[in-house]
Amino acid sequence: MRKIKCLVAFFAITLTCLQAQEPVNDSIVSIIKKNGLEKSRVMETAAMITDVYGPRMTGSPMLDKATNWVVQQLKDWGYQNVQLDEWGPFGRGWELKHFEMHCQTPNYWPVIAYPKAWSPSTKGLVKGEVIYLDAHTEEDLAKYKGKLKGKFVMIDTLRVLKEWEDPLAKRLTPEELLEMANAAKPAQSGRRGNRNFPNSGGDFIKKMRALLYEEKPLATIDRSFKGDLGTVFVAGASAKEGSARDEGAEVLPQVTMSVEHYNRIFRLLAQGMPVSLSMNIQAEYTNKDGLEHNIIAEIPGTDLKDEVVVFGAHFDSWQSATGATDNAAGSAMMLEAARILMETIKESGIQPRRTLRIALWTGEEQGLLGSRAYAKEFVGHYDDDGNLQKGADYDKISAYYNLDNGTGKIRGVYLQGNDEVSEIFRAWLEPFKEMGATTLTLQNTGGTDHLSFDGVGVPGFQFIQDNVAYWSRTHHSNMDNYDHLVPEDMKQAATIVAAFVWHTAQRDEKLPRKSVEAKVEARRN
């Protein structure tokens, strides 16, 4: 009798565990895999938004062209409520029309360099000597008064290079994934500048900028804090006051040069040999109304249609390449997930219970501006007193899924400290473990658009991705082109995203949310 009771108890416990396990629809996963892996169109999409519509600077005419193409594509796939979500003000846009730079003396060579975004045009081809601004104090700056006008001013020191002995492209190792899985809380990230000014601080930078704008040199030249072998990491120009995006802001021509060419000129100057350059920048300020747009489209749900599953990526890029890994890759994979989901509905005859909403954000590179504006209007935001003001969609969104770490395949999910979703996501990853997607970590990957949702307590997640050459070679560089996208990785990622979105839409309940304490901590981060 005792054995029978134990046996009954065993089956009861087993049944309870089976009932508690998060369901996975294997037949739907099979359809998703077929459309995502065997019938993929992700690289076709990526080629369009890089080779044809790149770069996609926020506020630029090229971004508008890319947006129009995506809108039509979503409509052709059968998406509804396709619309442009207006936000702003962003300020003026910028588009480069022509650039060239050459070293003229002591001998000729074409220089590898790129204008910083929002650098103004020069008055045609300009020529001048190069001078290194060797200053660390206010007294040092005084020595250059009256000496910079009509010159090219180098503002960075020489950077010594070391030949690469390790591969540039890397994938996450089992040890690294285990460390992520064992992490207790989200990691915080920081930023580094290009030049270290000991004993100076921000006040010195302001005084140096004031001197440069008083002197009005032909251009300032820097070199990025990383990159070699012709790879140049380029961002945006700084203005005399405020932002270079501000209408009427005074901006000097600013150029980032490849470190090898920068170092060569630096060494020549150090030897007392005069160096002269010629340069021509032709650029246009655009987007006079200062308003921008996110792209939104939906597949309406059924019995839970008022609830929403959002998935997206940022669509804008920087200017020196076509923005392939940052972030045409994420946008193409999310668009591919959108296509896979539509094909899955057609093939299975099953409609999503919740509404599926794809969102492609703009202004991410300037500070998550597009997604933050969307969240403030529709999701939620904190007022000046620190109180959460909920938007109309706050209680309706089950989750937001984001991709913004390059071309690498998905290895798991950053949980943003939300341990209550871990067993749910573990079940959803199970069909993809043979593809290397197995890791869940409480960590957060850092500054990208999922934070606009997670920051106000709505479940927002970024997928863990293999780095490949994202940080070492392509992110914000002149090498961020289609050639560095990995087709098999992108197929895998789009397929997993589609499966996560589908299962989120079909659950009886929305995904669990973090505690109030966790929301406060997320806001601090």
Residue 156, classified by CB atoms within 10 Å of its CB into exposed (0-12), middle (13-18) or buried (19+), is buried
Q: Are domains 48-91+289-524 and 93-156+194-286 of this chain identical in fold? A: no
Question: CB 182: neighbour CB atoms within 10 A?
Answer: 9
Query: Which DSSP helix (H) or strand (E) runs through 40?
Result: none
Q: What is the mean pLDDT of each run of 10 residues along the chain (525 residues)?
A: 41 39 96 98 98 98 98 98 98 97 98 98 98 95 96 97 91 94 64 40 86 97 94 96 96 98 98 98 94 98 98 98 98 98 98 98 97 98 95 98 97 95 98 97 88 96 96 96 98 98 98 69 50
The predicted pLDDT at position 7 comes to 39
Phi/psi at 12 (nearest 5 deg)? -65, -45
Strand bridging mode 439-441 / 410-414:
parallel
d(CA 498, CA 85): 23
Determine contact, residues 510/420, Cβ cutoff 8 Å. no
The predicted pLDDT at position 443 comes to 87
Phi/psi at 39 (nearest 5 deg)? -120, 35
Helix axes 26-33, 487-506, angle to 10 degrees: 150
The predicted pLDDT at position 17 comes to 41
d(CA 388, CA 457): 9
CATH superfamily of 48-91+289-524: Zn peptidases (3.40.630.10)
Cis peptide before 327 (omega within 30 of 0): yes
Domain boundary assignment for the chain = 48-91+289-524, 93-156+194-286
d(CA 476, CA 461): 23
Q: Structure pTM?
A: 0.91
Fold of 93-156+194-286: Glucose Oxidase; domain 1 (3.50.30)
